[in-house]
Amino acid sequence: MGCSTSSSAVSKPAHHADAAEKSTELRLLDEYSVGLTLGEGAFGVVSVCKKRSTGQEFAVKMVDKVETPVEQIKKEAEMLQSMEHPNVVKFHGVYYERCFVCIVMDKLDGGDLVEGLQRHLKERGQINPLDVVHVAYQMAASIQYLHSRNVVHRDIKGDNYLMDRKNMTEKSCKIVLTDFGTACNAAVTDRMDAGVGTKIFWPPEFFDRSYGHKVDVWAMGVIMYGLVSGRFPFR
């Protein structure tokens, strides 16, 4: 990554619509302490952070400004801020630091669906399809919500659905959709051509660079195939 965080970096919070209008600029480290790394990728890192005033834990996605255009990160933060659905990760603030843009979100403790599948296969064997109906319902609910707002995620995959517990077959297991870095606004009649997302979840029309909302539905089908069969159909 291009450079590391610093407590001297300047940022602008946007916890809610009114918070974005605050005249006093705050730093991420003014409000949160940053702890263990949860994941790392080309975009930057996701770490645990704890709100200093309450002790509550969240996740912070720190996107490297060198690797990703600031406008793209800003668009992701604004899109997340506008979302309000139980199966979409909840946004808590964005901070524009010197080297990173830091997006604070809910922290879920169960890992992602791919990790959940691997864990289940190792400990209990193949998943009974009836045991993940509630998972399918929640995935469909998140996608339906996005599409009702003319938003296409374009990177629906198991890695981007987080769980609030380790065992996805528990009926009370909640899942949320994350990572809106490739999401865009598009009407149901619009066609898109950008080759973004993860290839093994692309539908045929994606390769023709002419696709619409249904790419998210196809990708959900690929996830469900993987969950019930124990392996994903494409490599």
Q: Give residue-wise pLDDT tens across range 200-227.
A: 999 999 999 999 999 999 999 999 999 9
Looking at the structure, tell me whether residues 151 and 81 fall in a common domain. Answer: no
Average pLDDT over residues 112-120: 97
> Was 199 annotated as part of a binding site?
no
pLDDT interval class at 5 (50, 70, 90): very low
Question: Do 24 and 94 sit in the same domain of this protein?
Answer: yes
- Structural domain span for residue 184: 113-229
For the residues of 55-98, what is the DSSP string, one character each?
A: --EEEEEEEETTTS-HHHHHHHHHHHHT---TTBPPEEEEEE-S
Is 159 in the active site?
A: no
* Per-residue pLDDT at 11: 40
Q: Which of 84, 105, 126 is where one domain is finished?
A: 105
- Whether the CA torsion 120, 121, 124, 126 is positive or negative: it is positive
Residue 129 belongs to a domain? yes
Number of domains in the chain: 2
Name the band, by pLDDT with cuts 50, 70 and 90, for residue 4. very low
Q: How far apart are CA 145 and CA 159, in angstroms?
A: 19
Q: What is the CATH number of the domain that holds 40?
A: 3.30.200.20
Whether the pLDDT of residue 10 is over 80: the answer is no
Task: Establish how many alpha carbons lie within 13 A of residue 2's alpha carbon, considering only the half-sphere containing its beta carbon.
Answer: 14
Residue 3 covered by a domain: no
**What does pTM read for this prediction?**
0.87
Q: Between 49 and 22, whose confidence is greater?
A: 49
Residues 46 and 84 in one domain: yes
Q: Any bridge partners for residue 39, and if so which? A: 46
> Residue 34: inside a domain, yes or no?
yes
Element (H, E) at 107: none
Backbone φ and ψ of 77, nearest 5°: -65, -45
Are 83 and 159 members of one domain?
Answer: no
Considering 131, 155, 179, 216, which one is annotated as catalytic?
155
- pLDDT at 76 > cutoff 70: yes
